[in-house]
């Protein structure tokens, strides 16, 4: 049995039908709700970060900075 290879190409995108979803939730009166937003590297620039130097003081090696990430956490207690 031979399984055909799937070839993905940017010039031939795979188009799927649209999906519509709706989520609804009801909260009781005695609910403790906490929301926390964490942002890592908020003020970090996109410049390369020097990690090594030549004896003359010139930059010898650089690294790409860590990207900015956002995390939203929601906690319910009842």
CA distance 20 to 23: 10
Q: What are 46-55's pLDDT values in tens digits?
A: 778 888 888 8
CA distance 75 to 69: 20
In a domain, 26, yes or no: no
Where would I find the beta strands (DSSP E) of the chain? 32-40, 49-53, 59-63, 69-77
In a domain, 21, yes or no: no
Structural domains in the chain (count):
1
**Reported pTM:** 0.41
Beta bridge partners of 36: 73
In a domain, 15, yes or no: no
Domain that holds residue 49: 32-77
Q: What are 4-36's pLDDT values in tens digits?
A: 556 666 777 766 677 777 777 776 778 788 899
């Amino acid at each position: 049995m031979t399984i055909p290879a799937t070839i993905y190409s940017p010039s031939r995108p795979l188009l799927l039908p649209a999906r519509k979803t709706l989520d609804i939730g009801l909260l009781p009166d005695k609910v403790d709700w906490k929301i926390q937003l964490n942002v890592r590297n908020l003020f970090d620039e996109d410049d390369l970060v020097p990690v090594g130097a030549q004896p003359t003081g010139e930059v010898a090696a650089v690294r790409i900075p860590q990207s900015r990430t956002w995390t939203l956490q929601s906690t319910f207690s009842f």
